[in-house]
Amino acid sequence: MPKNGNSVAPARVRFSPSPTGLTHLGSARTALYNYLFARKTGGVFLLRVEDTDQKRYDPAAEQDLISSLKWIGLSWDEGPDVGGPHKPYYQSQRKEIYRKHAEGLIKKGKAYYCFCSSEELKVVREAQQKRHEQPHYSGKCRNIPVEVAEQRVQAGESHVVRFKTPKKGSITALDLLRGEITVENSKVDDMVLLKSDGHAVYHLATMVDDHLMQITHVFRGEEWLPSLPLHAHIYEAFGWQQPVWVHLSVFLKPSGKGKMSKRDTAEARLTGKSIFMKDLADMGYLPEGVTNWIALMGWSYDDHTEFFTMKDLIEKFELAKLNPSPASIDFKKLDHFNGLHIRALPQKELAKRLVPYFQKAGYHVAAGQLAPIVPIIQTRMTTLDEGPQLAGFFFKEEVKPPPEMLVGKGMTAADSAGALIKALGIIEVLPEFNAASAEEPMRAVADELSLKAGQLFGILRNAVTGQEVSPPLFESMEIVGRDTVIARLQEAIAALETMGEGRKAA
RNA sequence: GCCCCCAUCGUCUAGAGGCCCAGGACGUGGCCCUUUCAAGGCUAAAACCGGGGUUCGAAUCCCCGUGGGGGCACCA
């Protein structure tokens, strides 16, 4: 058994999800680690679709899976869409392979036909639960002579194939993060390998595929840890060498108590957070930010850097720094990483990525129009959908702030209108109009009127942008352009004047 | 009920017997910068689950307890 988890030998790893729902954080992280390890070692990363449960398989989920993995920047060398030497990569199309392997096990006396019905099994299970026993197969069909069993199968009797777990002794399996895990064989159940519909169950299909596809390292969720002993037995029964097992801890909900439930997930979505990749993309998170974030939930790199691009991750990733303890999801940290990656984006690229979010908000702009505003909003966003909130006013015909908003702090409407008139007069005659040329004269206006710069600038900001919070005033005015600034100031003055005299701002 | 796993600031984590009266990051408070909001800089508070061992010495090793998580299907 290979013991060195950090072997530099090229690894063959796989991500093999069962497409039954939207791709979430946990799956994405498992896929990511697989990918990183493959790229790090110069090995192969393959994608395999575990669709042996016909009832739960959902083609839409498979679409979501592919797009989610691609979104975070993963690519695979073998898989359903790209083919490869071990195709097919859909388990449903590998039915025959599993059947043959199951029969091989029967011939070796390591598996057997079982004719117990689901109803029968259910009754037994319930009785066991009542007696506070761990539910397990009774063993009723375990010792039916093979010839007899085969006759019944030939006769068309409904059956499954079960693994024949040794009843005595114990088995020790090795998990890379936890070391040896030893379990009494009496605790390992005779699990079904082949269902009555002829499809293999995970325990058979995955072991067979991983072996056939020469998988060297298996990264999977911790929920598989309890069946690791079974899997070790199956490998032994076949006489195969086991891969290096790496069980990744689960993600807990933000409180740290328990894993995300359906209700938690729904609640998170309401507040602009989600564990689904698709939602995160819609909400304006960058794939780079999400990737950086999930990479660090269960893995660390100890030189105190936390900002990683995919390239960095491939370079730095190592098995030895994987952490077996469960981590709770912290969306605040996602915001932090997302902000970091937004700021790290080249301006042209950021403009391009902002386009869909502006369009979704109703501003039909192209990247070229966004280019000049990117520099003044780049440090002000944590998600891309904040772009339009912050800079939508650049593309509005009219901003129409409510008149109360135009009254300066501690000033009357008349004072405010007066200040605006004065400012307007200067703006109209400035030889050049840009951020640098407008600021000093405006400060002078404030001085002259014995106002604080902030008082005047506040009124100007509200008049020009229609927002209390905006990118820097003078840069914004420059981009908006002198004509529009003048028009908006005139509208503001008119609005203030109709407000009447002497009314103070609230 | 049975089996398995995990356990350092609120959260993510560093720490593989002395380098630790425990370091970093997020978040939180304060200060600086500042026309708003951010970003940035500085700074503060904040943790080794409990009890027994082992050892000259334990956050680090062992045992027990407690807490948390996972599993116990003809689902994966």
ipTM of model = 0.96
Q: In what order do the strands lie in the sheet with A111-114?
A: A111-114, A160-163, A192-194
Identify, with chain letter, the residue nearest to nucleotide B13 (CA–C1'): A300
> Partners of A49 in the beta sheet?
A90
Task: Give the SS3 label for residue A358.
Answer: helix
Q: How far is the CA of A477 from the C1' of B24 (A)?
A: 41
Cβ pair A19, A58 in contact under 8 A: yes
The pLDDT, as a whole number, for residue A3 is: 37
Q: How far is the CA of A320 from the C1' of B27 (A)?
A: 28
Unique residue bearing structure tokens 């390890």 = A37
Identify, with chain letter, the residue nearest to nucleotide B35 (CA–C1'): A454
The pLDDT, as a whole number, for residue A500 is: 62
In which element (H, E) is residue A497 found? helix A482-498
User: Rounded to an integer, what distance in angstroms lies between the CA atom of residue A214 and that of residue A232?
Assistant: 16
Q: How far is the CA of A382 from the C1' of B75 (A)?
A: 39
> For each of chain A's 506 residues, which pLDDT tens digit applies?
333 444 479 999 999 999 999 999 999 999 999 999 999 999 999 999 999 998 999 999 999 999 999 999 999 999 999 999 999 999 999 999 999 999 999 999 999 999 999 999 999 999 998 888 889 999 999 999 999 999 999 999 999 999 999 999 999 999 999 999 999 999 999 999 999 999 999 999 999 999 999 999 999 999 999 999 999 999 999 999 999 999 999 999 887 777 888 888 988 888 889 999 999 999 999 999 999 999 999 999 977 889 999 999 999 999 999 999 999 999 999 999 999 999 999 999 999 999 999 999 999 999 999 999 999 999 999 999 999 999 999 999 989 899 999 999 889 999 999 999 999 999 999 999 999 999 999 999 999 999 999 999 999 999 999 999 999 999 999 999 999 999 999 999 999 998 765 444 43
Q: Which residues of A are known catalytic residues?
A: 262
> Partners of A246 in the beta sheet?
A219
Q: How far is the CA of A181 from the C1' of B64 (A)?
A: 20
pTM > 0.80 = yes
CA–C1' nearest nucleotide, residue A187: B3
Give the number of C-alpha atoms closer than 13 A to the C-alpha of residue A381, restricted to the C-beta side: 31
The pLDDT, as a whole number, for residue A491 is: 96
CA–C1' nearest nucleotide, residue A471: B37
The pLDDT, as a whole number, for residue A404 is: 92
Q: How far is the CA of A317 from the C1' of B22 (A)?
A: 26
Residue A292 tokens read as 């950086």
The pLDDT, as a whole number, for residue A14 is: 98
User: Rounded to an integer, what distance in angstroms lies between the CA atom of residue A58 and that of residue A70?
Assistant: 19
Q: Which region, left, alpha or beta, applies to residue A258 given φ > 0 means left and ψ of -120 to 50 means alpha?
A: left
User: Rounded to an integer, what distance in angstroms lies between the CA atom of residue A460 and that of residue A489?
Assistant: 8
Amino acid, single-letter form, for residue A285: Y
Cα end-to-end distance, chain A, whole Å: 75
Cβ pair A462, A491 in contact under 8 A: no
A394-427 b/e with 16+ CB inside 10 Å = b? bbeeebebebebbbbeebbbbbbbebbebbbeeb
Identify, with chain letter, the residue nearest to nucleotide B11 (CA–C1'): A330
How do strand A179-184 and strand A170-175 relate by DSSP bridges? antiparallel
The pLDDT, as a whole number, for residue A249 is: 94
User: Rounded to an integer, what distance in angstroms lies between the CA atom of residue A428 and that of residue A421?
Assistant: 11
| Alpha helices in A155-301, H assignment, sequence order | 202-212, 228-238, 262-270, 277-282, 287-295
CA–C1' nearest nucleotide, residue A323: B13
Amino acid, single-letter form, for residue A166: P
The pLDDT, as a whole number, for residue A262 is: 85
The pLDDT, as a whole number, for residue A4 is: 40
Q: Which region, left, alpha or beta, applies to residue A38 given φ > 0 means left and ψ of -120 to 50 means alpha?
A: alpha
Q: Which nucleotides of B are covered by protein (CB under 7 A)?
A: 1-8, 10-15, 23-27, 35-40, 68-76
CA–C1' nearest nucleotide, residue A301: B14
Amino acid, single-letter form, for residue A71: W
The pLDDT, as a whole number, for residue A1 is: 34
Q: At what angle do helices A435-448 and A453-465 cross, to 10 degrees?
A: 130
